[in-house]
A and B are shown apart, each in its own frame.
Chain A
Amino acid sequence: NAGVTQTPKFQVLKTGQSMTLQCAQDMNHEYMSWYRQDPGMGLRLIHYSVGAGITDQGEVPNGYNVSRSTTEDFPLRLLSAAPSQTSVYFCASSYMAGFTGELFFGEGSRLTVL
């Protein structure tokens, strides 16, 4: 039972480089989201999707792009990495957008931007 799988687990980038954080879930969840976690800041929502072809911005979307071509996958793209994007990124999914259930989290991707 894989659940939510994130790759890579660790990544070091130089300022200005681009990269994609991958997220896949095998639970047929409609809702998928990306959060970033920074010390003392809790988790902040970057982007989310309520189904294939539908995405929307969260609290901190600047510098990030997402797309949702399939139910299973929800990649997060950093267009031009900046040191301020150094963080731990979590992908989370839920079977419905109403959240009467729960969010299922991946194990996180730790990104360092030099």
Chain B
Amino acid sequence: AQSVTQLDSQVPVFEEAPVELRCNYSSSVSVYLFWYVQYPNQGLQLLLKYLSGSTLVKGINGFEAEFNKSQTSFHLRKPSVHISDTAEYFCAVRAYSGAGSYQLTFGKGTKLSVIP
């Protein structure tokens, strides 16, 4: 079964510093990968997705991620974080669930805390 592993449960970073949130996925022939963000007391929203094509994917709010097939990784990066980026970030992979349907399997999340 497809799975993702988020390597850090918490990441503190100073405002305007760069950040990388790490995600590794289990290998498969084809893989669709996603990053979602959850702000405090809210539901999740899509940050970016990799389906195929360019391995560098740009998302909302200045975030980007790089798909690395040899490393089976999909790390999320931002060159300069803001206080408003404080949130929990989830990596997810599309998994086949049988009978022609799919489901999203989420990692355990990484809490990003931006320090003023």
| Contact between chains at B94 and A106 (CB < 8 Å) | no
> A12 at interface (Cβ–Cβ under 8 A)?
no
B46 touches A102 (CB 8 A): yes
Q: Which residues of A contact B83 (CB under 8 A)?
A: none
User: Count the A residues whose beta carbon is within 8 Å of the partner chain — how many?
Assistant: 26
Tell me which of B42, B43, B100, B109 has the highest count of chain A C-beta atoms within 10 A of its own C-beta. B43
Contact present for A45 and B103 (CB under 8 Å): yes
CB distance from A87 to the nearest CB of B (A): 14
A108 to B109, CA, bound (A): 17
Output the residue of B41, B42, B101 with the most chain A CB within 10 A: B101
B94 touching A99 by the CB < 8 A rule? yes
- Determine whether B80 belongs to the interface, using a CB cutoff of 8 Å to chain A: no
Residues of B within 8 A of A26 (CB): none
Inter-chain contacts of A43 with B (CB < 8 A):
44, 90, 106
Quick one: which of A31, A45, A90, A102 contacts B43, CB cutoff 8 A?
A90
B residues whose Cβ falls under 8 Å from a Cβ of A:
6, 9, 32, 34, 36, 41-46, 49, 51, 90, 94, 97, 99-109
Chain A interface residues (CB < 8 Å from chain B):
4, 31, 33, 35, 40-45, 48, 50, 56, 58, 90, 92, 97-100, 102-103, 105-108
Contact sample, A vs B, 27 pairs, CB 8 Å cutoff = A35-B106, A40-B108, A41-B108, A42-B90, A42-B107, A42-B109, A43-B90, A45-B105, A48-B101, A48-B103, A58-B103, A90-B44, A92-B43, A92-B44, A98-B94, A98-B102, A99-B94, A99-B103, A99-B104, A103-B36, A103-B44, A103-B46, A105-B44, A105-B45, A107-B41, A108-B41, A108-B42
